Amino acid sequence: MSQALNPMLNIAIKAARTAGSIINRASLDLDILKINTKSPNDFVTEVDQAAENAIIETLLTAYPGHGILAEESGREHGAKNSEYVWIIDPLDGTTNFIHGFPVYAVSIALTYRGQVQQAVVYDPSRNDLFYASKGRGAFLNDRRLRVSKRTRMSDSLIGTGFPFRKGDNFKRYVKMFEEVMQQCAGLRRPGAAALDLCYVAAGYYDGFFETGLNPWDVAAGSLMITEAGGLIGNFTGEADYLFQREVVAGSPKIYGQLVQILSPYTRVIKQDEEHPAGAAPEGSPEQALAAAVRGADAAPVPQPEEKKRTAVRIRKADL
């Protein structure tokens, strides 16, 4: 590789490649795969679980004092109060995987005090390794990544992800889809958000947006984008995207234009109407996940009123 890697990043790469080997072996015989349904259209396989166990074992062997937040096992493993938390998606794109559609990846990020410091996204079917360290740039294998230079939405290829879980707001998404589709050169939906974000970092996409995502879907990819010169936030352009279940990303100019289009659809506004105090509902996924990563004594998520004011400044700066 083209640079001396941080030891923590090296361990994450080792864990991702180990999980990738498990996934590749299983992909050769999908007919015998055991598949369970977590909820309608939301699947988990024995491969997800085996890959996650291998990742956690590799990480905790090297760093037994670190915390873990993983898609399948949550906070079950690792230290509960560490300032270091690994955020893991062992197989992003499970539905693609079980159908033999080769768009899926392993995603591993390390946060320190809630900020992503190291990131790895490994595409085992192509043997593509995306990795980044905060302040050191983002890479695909040995190649430095930079976001695209396009500045007009009409020239841009935008990635997205469709809502698929029961309870998702499909009507809201269709309105967003229609509005973005009419202003860009094309929309794509391969079905693995971790890879989608890496594709923004690599300049394949000019922008990306999706709703309903969890921290393990976006944590690693978010560092790829910022280290490649891009921007990422929630629909109002605020930086607390990990916990808002909505994300928009892109090259700086395209990001600004996407925020203008998507800000009327933000979930934060709806949440503000339902909860005047501005906090996430007690016991909500956002609250639980934010507490897990930030730690019990961390500062609360900023009030929605603050988000709206900040978003106006960001949009003006970017455009």
State the Cα angle at 253 between 251 and 259, rounded to 5°. Answer: 90
165 with 305, same domain: the answer is yes
173 with 24, same domain: the answer is no
- Per-residue pLDDT, averaged over 258-284, amounts to 60
Burial class (CB in 10 A: 0-12, 13-18, 19+), 79: middle
C-alpha to C-alpha distance for 20 and 93, rounded to whole angstroms:
13
C-alpha to C-alpha distance for 69 and 67, rounded to whole angstroms:
7
136 with 171, same domain: the answer is no
What residue numbers bound the domain in which 313 lies? 153-318
pLDDT at 166: 60
170 with 205, same domain: the answer is yes
Question: Which residue among 144, 174, 190 closes a domain?
Answer: 144
Percent above pLDDT 90 for the chain: 65
Give the distance between the most distant pair of CA atoms in the chain. Answer: 54
Instruction: Check: CB of residue 94 under 8 Å from CB of residue 26.
Output: no
C-alpha to C-alpha distance for 214 and 243, rounded to whole angstroms:
7
48 with 87, same domain: the answer is yes
pLDDT at 73: 87
Among the listed residues 161, 160, 163, the one whose alpha carbon sits nearest the alpha carbon of residue 186: 160
101 with 176, same domain: the answer is no
The answer to whether residue 2 sits within a structural domain is: no
185 with 312, same domain: the answer is yes
118 with 169, same domain: the answer is no
CATH number for the domain including 64?
3.30.540.10
Token pair, residue 85, equals: 């938390």
Residue 144: pLDDT band with limits 50, 70, 90? very high
pLDDT in tens, 235-250: 999 888 887 889 999 9
- Per-residue pLDDT, averaged over 11-20, amounts to 98
C-alpha to C-alpha distance for 72 and 92, rounded to whole angstroms:
11
C-alpha to C-alpha distance for 247 and 160, rounded to whole angstroms:
10
Q: Is the dihedral of CA 226, 228, 231, 232 positive or negative?
A: negative
Instruction: Check: CB of residue 256 under 8 Å from CB of residue 249.
Output: no
Among the listed residues 211, 200, 207, 291, the one whose alpha carbon sits nearest the alpha carbon of residue 247: 211
The answer to whether residue 51 sits within a structural domain is: yes
CATH number for the domain including 299?
3.40.190.80
The answer to whether residue 214 sits within a structural domain is: yes
44 with 22, same domain: the answer is yes
Element (H, E) at 133: strand 128-133
pLDDT in tens, 71-114: 988 899 999 999 999 999 999 999 999 999 999 999 999 999 99
| 139-143, 258-262, 285-289: segment of lowest average pLDDT | 285-289
pLDDT at 163: 75
**How many secondary structure helices (H) and strands (E) does the chain include?**
10, 14
Q: 């079917």: which residue's tokens?
A: 125
pLDDT at 35: 80
The answer to whether residue 209 sits within a structural domain is: yes
138 with 254, same domain: the answer is no
HEC letters along 267-303: HHHHHHHHCCCCCCCCCCHHHHHHHHHHCCCCCCCCC
The answer to whether residue 1 sits within a structural domain is: no
Whether 263 has a pLDDT exceeding 70, the answer reads yes
132 with 157, same domain: the answer is no
Could you say which DSSP state residue 248 is in?
E
First to last CA, the chain: 36
Q: Please tell me the total count of domains within the chain.
A: 2
pLDDT at 308: 39
Against a cut of 0.85, is the pTM above it?
Answer: no
pLDDT at 194: 97
Whether 285 has a pLDDT exceeding 70, the answer reads no
135 with 165, same domain: the answer is no
pLDDT in tens, 152-211: 999 999 999 987 666 567 788 889 999 999 999 999 999 999 999 999 999 999 999 999
The answer to whether residue 298 sits within a structural domain is: yes
Question: Which residue among 99, 118, 144 closes a domain?
Answer: 144
The answer to whether residue 157 sits within a structural domain is: yes
- Per-residue pLDDT, averaged over 59-63, amounts to 97
Name 85's Cβ contacts closer than 8 Å, sequence gap at least 6. 66, 67, 68, 69, 78, 110, 111, 292, 293
Whether 270 has a pLDDT exceeding 70, the answer reads no
Question: Which residue among 144, 178, 213 closes a domain?
Answer: 144
Alpha helix ranges (H) inside the chain: 7-27, 46-62, 94-98, 170-181, 193-201, 215-227, 252-262, 267-274, 285-294, 304-318
